[in-house]
């Protein structure tokens, strides 16, 4: 077997075995099961930083990707607007000024709204990356948002140095701003 075929099979195995998936968790305490009829409960403004005060629990970065550093996160919030049972408009606002807005697709699954899986493949000379991300949101009785996030990344840097990263952020809670 030649080297190209071996590399091809190794890459195929890696792609097939490294998908980010969310476990069908039971609901957290006080969670409301989302359905087509009550999906509008998600509408509203939410704190960008989780109530857990974790720096990795940034709601906007989990919904989009990393990249918007607007300084004081306490002045920023995320607004969700349900368009239909497959689309939610997500907006980043700072002091009521719109910074970025995008319509994200997903579906209701296991009582959560699960966003479509995002896959990033970046093949270059110095850095080769594969990243797959899965994110879902739910609503609590106190009108706060609960989220689950899973991301798997792997690749090589400077042609030879391999890396692997797995991020799991279960049950983060984001306060609803009234």
* pLDDT tens per residue across span 24-43: 566 567 788 899 999 999 99
User: How many CB atoms sit inside 10 A of residue 69's CB?
Assistant: 8
Helix (H, G, I), strand (E, B) or coil at 23: coil
Residues 169-178 have pLDDT tens digits of: 777 777 888 7
Mean pLDDT within 98-117: 87
Mean pLDDT of 67-71: 57
Q: What is the pLDDT of residue 87?
A: 94
Q: Inform me whether the pLDDT recorded for 1 exceeds 60.
A: no
Give the model's pLDDT for residue 86. Answer: 94
Judged by average pLDDT, the poorest of 55-69, 86-100, 164-178 is 55-69
Residue 121's CB is within 10 A of a number of other CB atoms, namely 11
How many angstroms separate the CA atoms of 105 and 135, rounded? 11
User: Which residues, 6+ apart, have CB-to-CB distance to 113 below 8 Å?
Assistant: 34, 39, 42, 88, 106, 107, 136, 137, 138
For residue 155, the tally of other CB atoms under 10 A from its CB is 19
Go through the chain and tell me how many residues it has: 178
Residue 21 scores a pLDDT above 90: no
């Amino acid at each position: 077997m030649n080297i190209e075929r071996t590399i091809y099979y190794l890459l195929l195995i890696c792609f097939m075995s490294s998908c980010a998936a969310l476990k069908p968790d039971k609901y957290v305490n006080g969670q409301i099961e989302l359905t087509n009829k009550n999906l509008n409960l998600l509408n509203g403004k939410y704190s960008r930083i989780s109530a857990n005060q974790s720096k990795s629990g940034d709601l906007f970065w989990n919904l989009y990707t990393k990249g918007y550093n607007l300084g004081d996160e306490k002045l920023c919030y995320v607004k969700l607007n349900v368009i239909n049972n497959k689309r939610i408009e997500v907006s980043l606002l700072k002091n009521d000024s719109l910074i970025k807005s995008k319509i994200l697709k997903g579906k209701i699954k296991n009582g959560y709204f699960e966003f479509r899986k995002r896959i990033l493949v970046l093949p270059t000379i110095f850095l080769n990356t594969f990243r797959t991300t899965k994110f879902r949101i739910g609503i609590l009785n106190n009108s706060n948002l609960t989220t689950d996030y899973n991301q798997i990344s792997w690749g090589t840097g400077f042609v030879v140095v391999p890396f692997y990263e797995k991020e799991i952020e279960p049950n983060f809670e984001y306060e609803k701003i009234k």
